Amino acid sequence: MSPLDAKLRRLAAELAAIQKRAKALGIFTNKRELLHCPGCGLKEDVTANGMLITYHEPDLSHDTGLRFKQLNKHTFRCPACGQNVKEPISEQGCEGASPA
Ligand SMILES: [Zn+2]
């Protein structure tokens, strides 16, 4: 194995460790739309360093520490008021719709 290969292998191992750590820290991976509870106004947001937070307006950057609980594929429960919240439809989600 060349020294370059050894270096690449080490970098790949480090990257895998970083990804594992990011997941453990709760970093938001953008797999779904951000939620907004119509009942109490609790909103999700992602900070500049990729952390998922929730807040009540106007405390835009104050993380309440609450997290929406996923009930099924597109439904979540608001941790503040207990209301069911549907995931907003993303733009890519419309392509399967057929005219009635
Ligand atoms: Zn709520």
* Residue pLDDT, tens place only, 19-66: 888 777 777 766 788 999 999 999 999 888 888 999 998 887 789 999
Answer whether 52's CB lies under 8 Å from 26's CB. Answer: yes
Q: Separation of 4 CA from ligand 1 center, angstroms? A: 53
Strand order across the beta sheet in which 84-86 lies: 69-72, 75-77, 84-86
Q: Separation of 84 CA from ligand 1 center, angstroms? A: 8
The answer on pLDDT for 97 being more than 60 is: no
pTM of the model: 0.63
Q: What's residue 100's pLDDT?
A: 53
Q: How far apart are CA 67 and CA 85, in angstroms?
A: 12
The answer on pLDDT for 93 being more than 50 is: no
Q: Separation of 85 CA from ligand 1 center, angstroms? A: 8
Q: Which two tokens stand for residue 36?
A: 């907004």
Q: Separation of 43 CA from ligand 1 center, angstroms? A: 9
